[in-house]
Structure 1
Amino acid sequence: MDKGQTFEDRLRAVSLRVTRPRVAVLSAVSAHPHADADTVIGAARAELGSVSKQAVYDVLAALVDAKLVRRIEPSGSPARFETRVGDNHHHVVCRNCGDIADVDCAIGEAPCLHASNSHGFSIDEAEVIYWGMCPDCATKKLLN
Structure 2
Amino acid sequence: MTSTDHTSPEEVLRDAGLRSTAPRRTVLEVVADHPHVTAAGLAELLGTAGHRMSRQSLYNVLEDLTRTGLLRSIQPTGSAPRYETAVAGEHHHLVCRGCGTVVDVPCAVGTSPCLTPAQAPGFPVLDRAEVTWWGLCTACSADSGTSPDPASDSWRTP
Structure 2 length as normaliser, TM-score?
Answer: 0.83
Report what 2:139 is aligned to.
136
Identity of matched residues, %: 41
Q: Which residue of 2 aligns with 1:53?
A: 55
2:87 to 61, 66, 85: 85
Point out the more displaced range, 44-53 or 128-137.
44-53
Q: CA deviation at 1:80?
A: 0.4
Of 68, 71, 75, which residue of structure 1 is paired with 2:70?
A: 68
SS in 2 for 1:93: strand
Which amino acid in structure 1 is aligned with residue 140 of structure 2?
A: C
Q: 1:23 aligns with which of 19, 22, 25?
A: 25
Q: Which position in structure 2 is the counterpart of 1:103?
A: 105
Q: What's the secondary structure of 2:80's corresponding residue?
A: coil
Structure richer in helix, relative to its length: 1
Contact persistence 1:88–1:105 (CA under 8 A)? yes
Gaps of at least 5 residues in structure 1 are: none
1:97 deviates by 1.0
Deviation at 1:127, TM superposition (A): 0.8
- In structure 1, C-alpha distance between the alignment counterparts of 2:132 and 2:141, rounded to whole Å: 19
State the alpha-carbon separation in 1 of the partners of residues 49 and 9 from structure 2. Answer: 14
Contact 1:24 1:47 in 2 (8 A): no
Structure 1 stretches of 4+ with a deviation exceeding 3 A read 45-49
The alignment's C-alpha RMSD in Å is 1.7
2:103 partner SS: strand
Aligned equivalents of 1:129, 1:12: Cα separation in 2: 32
Take 2:50 and 2:21, find their aligned partners in 1: how far apart are those partners? 11
Aligned to 2:117: 115
Unaligned runs of 5+ in 2: 147-158
Secondary structure of the residue that 1:112 maps to in structure 2? coil
The code of the aligned residue for 1:55 comes to S
How far apart are 1:41 and its partner, in Å?
1.4
Deviations 1:47-88 (A, max 9, x none): 453110010101001101111100000001111000000212
Alignment pair present for 1:42 and 2:30: no
Distance in 1, matches of 2:13 and 2:48, equals 21
Give the partner amino acid of 1:79.
P
